[in-house]
Structure 1
Amino acid sequence: RKTLPEDHSSLASTYNNIGFAYKDTGDYSKALEFYDKALKIDEKTLLPNHPSLATSYNNIGGVYDNMGDYSKALEFYDKALKIEEKTLPPNHPSLAISYNNIGLMYDNMRDYSKALEFHDKALKIYEKTLPPNHPSLATSYNNIGLVYGRMGDYSKALEFYNKALKIQEKTLSPNPPSLAASYNNIGMAYSGMGDYSKALSFLEKTLAIFQKSLPPTHPHIKRALDNIDYVKKKM
């Protein structure tokens, strides 16, 4: 049988595929092992700014992200971004995805000003390149709203949640879970501002969607009931 040399480029793509399969099943240490094998080949055989290297760094960052090791994920997302910034046009969607990933890592690490900086970069690309009702714009607005919410700036959070909601109400069917998440975010922002009756009306919308679309024992339903209970006690 024919065997390939250990650093053959087609082996890298096979290792990446195996890594992806392990990541899909939640076996993150195995996924890292194979992504790392692919990366070692890519680093030996490709130019330092090759797009496949950026993909490898993003793959590894994604696994660390899923494992909750956000500083390690950030390190790899950042390596990918450096290549993308050198090789892609400034409004390329891959750049927006990288800015968004990095923003989420900073958010998880509670570095909110950095999180906003990167989410804002992603948003600027989306606003320039996507139609005004595109779901990625809604996600971007929601991400920014969540950061403001964690900073305790509820009125700013509401501004972005409402932008997301306007898109979702136009583009989604009446009961999808992402609409419920937006209602929940808005409800919790009103709760943070002490406007409990408004909070309650949005949290009840959240619960109604979850009850229609999820099994009764789903943790989202319990969380929605807990949020409603919390707000009612405050009224």
Structure 2
Amino acid sequence: MTRFLMMLLVCGFVSAQGKKQLDAAEAKMKTGDFKAAISLYSDAIKAEPKNAKYYNKRAFAYSMDTDYDKAYEDYSTSIKLEPDSAILLYDRALFFFTVNALTEAKLDHDVALQKANGDKVLETRLLALNGDIRRNQGDLEGAVKDYKKVLESNPEDGLKFACITNIGAVLGRLNRNDEAISYLEEAVKTYPKVPSVYNNLGFRYLAKNDYAKALQIYDKAISLSPKVAADGTTEVSSKAKLQDNVSASLLYNNRGYAKMKLGDLNGAMSDVNQSISLSADNSYAFRNRALIYNEQNNVEAACQDVKKALELGFTKSYGDELENLKKLICK
């Protein structure tokens, strides 16, 4: 009996130690210190080596730190420990989707759906993921159908936001701009303080050549973008700051394009320069600045930016537009 009680006490201590490390790791994740979080999750795993949850959480930390091989290993270990867990399969499916392993994502999705056992919240999340997979596989109509089914199920707020904006984006790719705008206008009304919604909506007005309306929308979006004080008080993490910079870069780039089309070349140049300063690998910003330089008859500078945009992979992402422009202006 004494030995049994001692075993219970040891197990309780190990569990408490694991929980302590887990809580500390979660705090590090919130600040974006992924390497520190990984170390703490590893300590939790040492305390409870059969705890699938810990492997799952360390896998996510590895993925955020872009160590995808170790992330895959941990996700797989968590599933081996709990092979009937639909949520663990869902998490690995999300990981596969993130790294564009769409076939593997679909396989995990399908197995997770079989094991969901009537969990409506998880089933709705899986349906949204299926829409994402279809979208990235080029089945745009199928993606829209899945997203609409998610919205019919009255999903959690974050999923509702994602599906509304995704429908808008996919309808835009299908050249159904008016439908896309109707969804994105709804998103703006529902989430009036989220800059990315305005960015998507503004882009749809750019596609309709309604540059004045697009400019109005981008002005609003930029006014909502995160502002980091001199002491960094609004900065949650280095990764969050990077994401904010990329988001703001897109806003300034698109507003600059709208200004150029409205004839405000100086304002356009200022915005696109700001975009490049926030995200120097945005090939589309260099494309836009090349167009502005060309409008200003500064052909040499335009040619340099065309070459820079091509160097950054513009053609792979957006087509051969700049290859043709290069032939015209780069003599």
TM range (shorter): 0.7 to 0.9
Confirm whether residue 61 of structure 1 aligns to residue 126 of structure 2: no
Are the counterparts in 2 of residues 95 and 122 from structure 1 also a CA contact under 8 Å? no
CA drift at 1:11 = 4.0
Q: Does the aligned pair in 2 maintain the 1:19–1:31 contact within 8 Å?
A: yes
- The two structures have a TM-score, normalised by structure 1, of 0.75
The one of 82, 88, 110 aligned to 2:152 = 82
SS in 1 for 2:292: helix
Distance 2:226 2:212 in 1: 21
**Residue 41 of structure 1: CA displacement?**
4.1
- Can you give the 5+ residue segments of structure 1 that lack an aligned partner in the other structure? 1-8, 128-133, 212-217
| Shift in alpha-carbon separation, 1:22–1:169, aligned structure 2, 3 A | closer
Report what 1:111 is aligned to.
176
- SS of 2:279's equivalent in the other structure is helix
Distance 1:225 1:99 in 2: 30
- What are the within-5 Å matches in structure 2 for residues 8-23 of structure 1? 10-23=84-97
Q: Following superposition of structure 1 onto structure 2, how do residues 1-235 of structure 1 map, counting pairs within 5 Å?
A: 10-42=84-116, 45-46=117-118, 50-84=120-154, 92-127=157-192, 134=193, 137-168=194-225, 170=227, 176-211=245-280, 218=281, 220=282, 222-235=283-296
Give 1:228 deviation, angstroms: 1.6
Q: 1:22 to 1:209 in 2, by over 3 A?
A: closer
Letter in 1 for 2:260: S
Q: Which has the higher contact order (CA 8 A, sep 6+)?
A: 1
Tell me the distance in 1 between the aligned counterparts of 2:151 and 2:84. 24
Q: Report the residue type matching 2:264 in the other structure.
A: D
Structure 2 distance, partners of 1:210, 1:40, is 42
- For the 8 Å contact 2:84–2:115, the answer to whether it is kept is no
CA RMSD, Structure 1 to Structure 2 (Å):
2.7
Runs of 4+ in 1 over 4 A off after TM superposition: 171-175
Q: CA shift at 1:157, angstroms?
A: 0.4
Length, aligned pairs only? 203
- The whole-number CA distance in structure 2 between the counterparts of 1:94 and 1:223 is 29
Structure 2: gaps spanning 5 or more residues: 1-82, 229-233, 236-240, 297-331
Paired-residue identity, %: 23
Instruction: Give the structure with higher Rg (CA).
Output: 2
* Equivalent pair of 1:57/1:77 in contact (CA under 8 Å): yes
Report the CA distance between 1:105 and its aligned residue.
Answer: 1.4
Aligned-partner Cα distance in 2 for 1:13–1:204: 44
> How far apart, in 1, do the equivalents of 2:94 and 2:226 lie?
34
Q: What amino acid maps onto 1:192 in structure 2?
A: K
Residues 65 and 73, structure 1, Cα contact 8 Å, conserved in 2: yes
Q: Deviations over 1:34-80 (max 9, x none)?
A: 202222444xx428xx2222111011112222334322221211221
Matches of 2:212 and 2:272 in 1, distance apart?
17
Q: Partners of 1:105 and 1:181 in 2: how far apart? A: 18
143-152 or 118-127, which moves further after superposition?
Answer: 118-127
- The residue identity in structure 2 corresponding to 1:78 is K
Normalising by structure 2, we get a TM-score of 0.55
Taking the aligned partners of 1:97 and 1:73, their CA distance within structure 2 comes to 13
